[in-house]
Structure 1
Amino acid sequence: MENLVEVSRLSKAFNNHKAIADISFTLSSGQVLGLLGHNGAGKSTLINTLLGTLHYDGDVSLLGLAPEKHRSKVMEKVAYISDVNSLPCWMTIKQIINYMKGVHPQFDADKAKSYLSNTELKLRMKIAQLSKGMKVQLHLALVMATDVQVLILDEPTLGLDLIYRETFYRDITLWVQQSHRSVIIASHEVSEIEHLLTDVLVLKSGKVVLQGSLDSIYAQYTSICIPQENREKAEQYSPIYIKEEKEHTLMLFNDVSSEALLELGQVLKTRLSDLFLAKQLGFTA
């Protein structure tokens, strides 16, 4: 299957400080990549190189084009939504739909109106009067109506209530399943987006500390609830992460057979949030 995104040995430095270093990954149709990391880990720098706004070292291709050299062409098929509101507040929803129809060759006004028909948004409403959740709904409807193939989301639900977040992620899931599309989501809400992801890329200080499909990652790591009486035995298997809970201890193991751990406690499904903390806090062996 043809890759929509190809990144090879990507690096970017600012004043001799490497913001990201030697990052490589590919994305094809149907893949949803979680781009995770603490503040300053390099997520925004990576996103900006994909959008063609930064010069970089290495190779980046979106839909077969280098974004830095062919940014206008790339942006016909790539869309970006961040937590920063960039919609013109003086327009009404009807006006911005008409504006999009004039400036974007792939925009389908009827499709945008169809998406909005499932919300509380009305064409006569002024953007300035919308809540943040409504603005995100509008932004997503405009993006989905452009028939882009790659959608990049940077903390898209920051500050939204639970209902708006659930609606947003439901719409994204349906959108990516409908055609030849892929999504990159940068977020601090690891537990919230885990169910959406097919792949993950975790950055720490600009370097990759965890990468792969979620299926392969879940197969590699094992989580187990250890009663206190078995703690010393479990520690002999060199857990990479230890979390103290009320009546037991949660331990995370890398490449240790779950059969070997069964006699020590209850084996659980590994949570991406625990893996993220293990990689960020430096408990990994």
Structure 2
Amino acid sequence: MENLVEVSHLSKAFSGQEVISDISFTLSGGQVLGLLGHNGAGKSTLIKILLGTLHYDGEVALLGLTPEKHRTKIMERVAYISDVSSLPSWMTIKQIINYMKGVHPQFDADRAKSYLQNTELKLQMKIVQLSKGMKVQLHLALVMATDAQILILDEPTLGLDLIYRETFYHDIQSWVQKHNRSMIIASHEVSEIEHLLTDVLVLKSGDVVLQGALDSLYEQYISISIPHENREKAEQYCPIYAKEEKGHTLMLFNNESSEALMALGQVSKTRLSDLFLAKQLGLNA
């Protein structure tokens, strides 16, 4: 399958200080990449490079084109949604739809209106009057009404209530899967987006500390709930993460299939949030 995104040995420095280092990954249709890391990890820098607004070292291609050289062409097929609304507040919803129809060659105004039918949004409403959740709904409808092949989300649900977040992710997942698109989600809400992801890239101070297909990572790492009386024995197997829970300690192990270890507790499904914390805290990771 043809790759929609190709990144090879990507690095970026500001004033001689490297902020992302030697990042490589590819995405094809249907893949959803979780871009994870604390503030300052390099997520925003990577996104800006993909959107063609920063110079970089290495190789980057979206739809076979170089972002820095072909930004205008790429942005006809790449959509971007962040937690900061970029919609003109003085326009009505009808005006922004008409505007998009005039400036974006792939935009379908009728499709945008159809996406809004099941929301509280009305064409005569002014954007300045909309709540943050409504603005995100409108932005999503505008994006889905284009023929974008790649969608980049940067903390898109920050500050939204649970209902808006659930609706947003349900709609975006259906849209991506139906049309075999690629998506990149940068978020702090690891548990919230885990079910959407096929792949993950975790950054720490600009370096990749965890990367791969989620299914493969779930096979590589094992989570075991260890009763307190067995904790000392389990620690001999060098867990990469340990968390105290009611009545037991949750421990995460890397490539450990020992029957002796598994006999010390109950094996449970590995959670991406625990993997993320293990790689950020760096116990034995």
After TM superposition, the score normalised by the length of structure 1 is: 0.99
**Segments of 4+ in structure 1 off by > 2 A?**
258-262
Name the SS of the counterpart of 2:111 in structure 1.
helix
User: How far has the Cα of 1:258 moved from its partner?
Assistant: 6.1
Q: 2: distance between equivalents of 1:180 and 1:248?
A: 42
CA contact (8 A) 1:93 1:126 kept: yes
Deviates more, 1:61-70 or 1:228-237: 228-237
Cross-structure match for 1:153: 153
Name the SS of the counterpart of 1:178 in structure 2.
helix
Q: 1: distance between equivalents of 2:21 and 2:267?
A: 36
Percent of aligned pairs with the same residue? 83
Cross-structure match for 1:201: 201
CA contact (8 A) 1:261 1:267 kept: no
Q: 2: distance between equivalents of 1:197 and 1:180?
A: 14
Name the SS of the counterpart of 1:27 in structure 2.
strand
User: How far has the Cα of 1:262 moved from its partner?
Assistant: 2.4
User: How far has the Cα of 1:283 moved from its partner?
Assistant: 1.2
CA contact (8 A) 2:239 2:251 kept: yes
Cross-structure match for 2:238: 238
Q: 2: distance between equivalents of 1:29 and 1:238?
A: 38
Q: 1: distance between equivalents of 2:260 and 2:33?
A: 32
| Counterpart code for 1:23 | I
Cross-structure match for 2:81: 81
Going from structure 1 to structure 2, the CA distance change for 1:2 and 1:248 (only over 3 Å counts) comes to: same
Which consecutive unaligned segments of at least 5 residues does structure 1 have? none
**Do structure 1's residue 58 and structure 2's residue 43 form an aligned pair?**
no
Q: CA RMSD in A?
A: 0.8
**Do structure 1's residue 25 and structure 2's residue 28 form an aligned pair?**
no
Going from structure 1 to structure 2, the CA distance change for 1:88 and 1:267 (only over 3 Å counts) comes to: same
Instruction: Write out per-residue CA displacement over residues 32-67 of structure 1, whole angstroms, 9 at most, x where no aligned residue.
Output: 000000000000000000000000000000000000
Q: 1: distance between equivalents of 2:31 and 2:118?
A: 26
Instruction: Write out per-residue CA displacement over residues 80-113 of structure 1, whole angstroms, 9 at most, x where no aligned residue.
Output: 1000111000000000000000000000000000
Q: 1: distance between equivalents of 2:70 and 2:224?
A: 49
Instruction: Write out per-residue CA displacement over residues 180-225 of structure 1, whole angstroms, 9 at most, x where no aligned residue.
Output: 3110000000000000000000000000000000000000000010
**Do structure 1's residue 250 and structure 2's residue 255 form an aligned pair?**
no
Name the SS of the counterpart of 1:284 in structure 2.
coil
Instruction: Write out per-residue CA displacement over residues 118-175 of structure 1, whole angstroms, 9 at most, x where no aligned residue.
Output: 1111101100000000000000000110110000000000000000000000011101
Count of aligned pairs between the two proteins: 285
**Do structure 1's residue 214 and structure 2's residue 214 form an aligned pair?**
yes
Going from structure 1 to structure 2, the CA distance change for 1:260 and 1:41 (only over 3 Å counts) comes to: same
Q: 1: distance between equivalents of 2:38 and 2:113?
A: 37
After TM superposition, the score normalised by the length of structure 2 is: 0.99
Cross-structure match for 2:266: 266
Name the SS of the counterpart of 2:59 in structure 1.
strand
Going from structure 1 to structure 2, the CA distance change for 1:238 and 1:128 (only over 3 Å counts) comes to: same
Cross-structure match for 1:284: 284
| Counterpart code for 1:242 | A
| Counterpart code for 2:68 | E
Which consecutive unaligned segments of at least 5 residues does structure 2 have? none
